């Protein structure tokens, strides 16, 4: 996992502290685009499509597929995007570098983009749809293989907790640091085997507690990086990665009630307003003294029941800053403040389903290339790709943590069944409508016999 491959040391005021980050996920998408565009330009010559037109075609499909993949993800995980305003939705949509795309959404978006490009360009060039499909089928497999490497670098699309028997098998398990995916908490909620940091915190009701509301360690997992760093049960986390573990207060209730609370806070001049990584508007108190003073005033005004209280560490664990793997804590223990050495929290072994898809596509790729000269009819390579990917994805999806729908199948498993059925129907259609490349040319008619010589 390498969310940020490197940084470009410019515009450090806009992208602190090191400059413009270059994400691994975006880099792999760019590499996939370049490979498909260059390799496809050579393959497109076989059907008379000029390289420059094919590159335009790839750009249309790439953009359309990306839009479709992002939209389907936001539909599937709509509860992770609470801001339903147009600007809020567009802002969340554009944050594609954070991950969050669904492959079958890219299929829908790509097909729609293809239809538009065909109507505007390809039909005027008299390019056969099915010949073009056979040209791009291996390119799709290569693009998916490279794209899933981006998922691996990003730390998204990972699988369930792996069984112990797979630990010694190549690609049997993988350990991710501080997973950034939205589904990350399911590791704790569904399995109860591993916290996202290697240690558990005491539960709080988040309702303006009398005592210090900053995170307190409940237990540390044996053998974890947190235990090796010296973290102990009972430690109070006071600093995180060099920053105070600030106390965050968020007013609740109707819009009028929330605005009333904010007016009080602004008049008191305690703490500072800011936005959390998830976009919530909160009041930040960097010291316990500020919090206690604010709490006292809230109690006197009768507003304390309308406040949700959290701390910076909890907020970060829910939405960890991208590109940061190391965790450096300062804790209070028996009246003393201790600075612990930095460590990298890691999950238990998970199935690296991203790499499984990369391997599957790399195995399917030579099959498509070798079968190309022997295909019965145009379009058959596309059918083979659809069947191969659908079978792989249905099986691979059973190793992932995804919400289940009808009959216990995930959205992608239902998509796989639809794609497989569509492939069978498409093959039947092509079998009856496309000329066979297997039929030999009809034998020539036998030559007429030579006339008999005249009788002597």
Query: What's the pLDDT at 276?
Result: 76
HSE-up of 323 (CA within 13 Å, CB side)? 16
Question: Quick count: other Cβ atoms within 10 Å of Cβ 125?
Answer: 12
Q: Distance (Å, rounded) from C-alpha 31 to C-alpha 366? A: 20
In three state form, how does the secondary structure of the chain look? CCCEEEEECCCCCCCCCCCEEEEHHHHHHHHHHHHHHHHHHHHHHHHCCCHHHHHHHHHHHHHHHHHHHHHHHHHHCHHHCCCCCHHHHHHHHHCHHHCCCCHHHHHHHHHHHHHHHHHHHHHHHCCCHHHHHHHHHHHHHHHHHHHHHHHHHHCCCCECECCHHHCCCCCCCECCECCCCCCCCHHHHHHCCCCCCCEEECCCCCCCCCCCCCCEEEEECCCCHHHHCCCCCCCEEEEECCEECCEEEEECCCHHHHHHHHHHHHHHCCCEEEECCCCCEEEEECCHHHHHHHHHHHHHHCCHHHEEEEEHHHHHHHCCCCCCCCECEEEEECCEEEECCCECCECCCECCHHHHHHHHHHHHHHHHHHHHHHCCCCCHHHHHHHHHHHHHHHHHHCCECCCECHHHCEHHHHHHHHHHHHHHHHHHHHHHHCCCCCCCCCCCCCCCCCCCCCCC
pLDDT of residue 181: 47
How long is the chain?
Answer: 456
Mapped to the 3 state alphabet, what secondary structure does 173-200 carry? CECCECCCCCCCCHHHHHHCCCCCCCEE
Give all strands of the β-sheet with 281-285 in edge-to-edge order: 272-275, 281-285, 247-251, 307-311
Q: What angle do CA 276, 280, 283 make, to 5 degrees?
A: 75
pTM (two decimals): 0.71
Please return the burial class of 62, using the count of CB atoms within 10 Å of its CB with bins 0-12, 13-18 and 19+: buried
Q: Tokens 């796989």 appear where?
A: 416
Exposure class string for 337-357: b at 16+ Cβ within 10 A, else e = eeebeebebbbbbbbbbbbbb
Q: Which of 323, 329, 331 is nearest to 343 (CA)?
A: 329
In this structure, the number of other CB atoms found within 10 A of the CB of residue 40 comes to: 22
Cα–Cα distance, 427 to 431 (Å, whole number)? 6
Structure-token pair, residue 337: 């403040």
pLDDT tens for the chain, residues 1 to 456: 677 777 888 877 776 667 777 888 889 989 999 999 999 999 999 888 899 999 999 999 999 998 998 888 888 777 667 667 778 778 778 776 665 777 778 889 999 999 999 899 988 888 888 999 999 999 999 999 999 998 888 777 778 777 766 666 667 666 665 544 444 555 555 544 445 567 878 876 666 666 788 988 888 888 788 889 999 999 999 999 889 999 998 888 888 888 888 888 888 888 888 887 666 789 999 999 998 888 888 878 776 567 888 888 888 776 666 666 778 999 999 989 999 999 887 766 778 899 999 999 999 999 999 999 999 999 999 999 999 999 999 999 988 877 677 888 888 899 999 999 999 999 999 999 999 988 755 445 555 566 666 655
Burial of 362 (0-12, 13-18, 19+ CB in 10 A): middle
pLDDT at 145: 96
Q: Tokens representing 388?
A: 């191969």
**pLDDT given for residue 440 in this prediction:** 54
Query: Scanning the structure block, which residue is given the tokens 């073009």?
Result: 132
């Amino acid at each position: 996992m390498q969310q940020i491959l490197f940084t470009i040391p410019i515009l450090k005021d806009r992208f602190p502290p090191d400059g413009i980050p270059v994400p691994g996920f975006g880099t792999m998408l760019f590499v996939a685009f370049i490979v498909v565009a260059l390799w496809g330009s050579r393959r497109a010559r076989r059907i008379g499509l000029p390289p420059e037109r094919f590159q335009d075609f790839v750009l249309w499909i790439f953009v359309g597929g990306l839009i479709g993949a992002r939209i389907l993800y936001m539909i599937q995980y709509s509860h992770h995007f609470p801001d339903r305003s147009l600007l809020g939705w567009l802002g969340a949509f554009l944050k594609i570098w954070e991950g969050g795309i669904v492959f079958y959404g890219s299929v829908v978006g790509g097909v729609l983009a293809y239809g538009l490009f065909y109507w505007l360009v390809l039909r005027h060039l008299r390019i056969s749809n099915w010949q073009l499909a056979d040209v791009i089928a291996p390119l799709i497999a290569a693009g998916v293989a490279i794209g899933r490497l981006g998922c691996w670098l990003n730390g998204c699309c990972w699988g369930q907790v792996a069984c112990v028997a797979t630990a010694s098998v190549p690609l049997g398990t993988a350990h991710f640091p501080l997973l950034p995916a939205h589904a990350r908490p399911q590791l704790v909620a569904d399995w109860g085997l591993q916290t996202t940091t290697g240690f558990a915190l005491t539960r709080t009701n988040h309702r303006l507690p009398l005592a210090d509301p900053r995170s307190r360690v409940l237990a540390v997992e044996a053998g974890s990086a947190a235990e090796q760093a010296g973290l102990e049960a009972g430690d109070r986390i006071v600093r995180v990665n060099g920053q105070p573990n600030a106390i965050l207060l968020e007013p609740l209730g109707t819009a009028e009630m929330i605005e009333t609370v904010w007016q009080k806070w602004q008049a008191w001049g305690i703490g500072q307003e800011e936005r959390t990584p998830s976009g919530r508007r909160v009041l930040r108190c960097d010291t316990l003294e500020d919090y206690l003073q604010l709490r006292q005033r809230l109690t006197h005004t009768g507003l304390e029941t309308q406040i949700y209280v959290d701390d910076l560490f909890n907020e970060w664990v829910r939405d960890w800053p991208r590109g940061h793997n190391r965790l450096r804590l300062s804790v209070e223990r028996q009246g003393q403040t201790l600075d612990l050495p930095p460590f990298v929290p890691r999950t238990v072994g998970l199935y690296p389903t991203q790499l499984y898809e990369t391997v599957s596509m790399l195995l399917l790729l030579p099959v498509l290339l070798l079968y190309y000269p022997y295909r019965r009819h145009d379009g058959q390579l596309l059918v083979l790709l659809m069947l191969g990917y659908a079978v792989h994805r249905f099986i691979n999806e059973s190793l992932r943590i995804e919400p289940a729908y009808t009959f216990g199948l995930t959205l992608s498993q239902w998509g796989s069944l639809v794609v497989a059925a569509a492939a069978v129907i498409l093959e039947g259609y092509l079998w009856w409508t496309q000329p066979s490349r297997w039929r030999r040319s009809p034998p020539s008619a036998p030559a007429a016999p030579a006339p008999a010589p005249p009788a002597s």
